[in-house]
Amino acid sequence: MSKVNIVSDKGAAHTLLQYCPDIENWPKSWSYEESDLAPGQLIVEFFKPFLLHLLARNLAASTLRRHRDHLWMLGGEVIRRRQEDPPLCQQPVENVTFALLEEDGGPLIWPRITEQEQDAFDASCRKFYQFLMKSSEDGNSG
C-alpha cells in the first residue's frame, strides 16, 4: 500500500471531474489545519483509481454518487484520525486508510451517523477494500 497511482490520462481525468466536480476541494474540506492539505491530496490520489474503476462499471448515477460521497467521508475520517493520533502522521496515508478498512466495511464514522447510513458507508468501504486487495494481487503477480 505504499504507492499512489496518479491519474495521468486526460480523458479519465475529465470524466473524473464530471463525476466528482469538487474533488480538488476535498483536502481543504477535510483539513483542520494547513498541514492536513498535503496528506489530503495524497488521499485523493489514492482514491482516484477506485473512482475511475466505479465509472468504468457503468453503475447507476445514484450508486456512483453514493460511493463518491462515502469515499469523501472516509477521507475525512483518515484526516480526523491523524489529528487525534499524531503517530499516524508518520505513516503513509495509504497505510492509514487501508488500516481503517476491513472485509466487513469501514470505520465507525464520527460524529455518529445512523445505522442505515453506516451500513451504506460500510458497503462502499467493502467495495474499496476488495478493489485494493485485487489491485494488490494483480500487482504482485506480474
Residue 4: per-residue pLDDT: 44
Q: What CA–CA distance (Å, rounded) separates 58 from 15?
A: 12
**Which residue ranges of the chain lie beneath pLDDT 50?**
1-7, 142
Write the DSSP symbol of residue 104: T
Q: Tell me: the pLDDT tens digits for 49-73?
A: 999 999 999 999 999 999 999 999 9
Residue 121 grid cell: 458507508
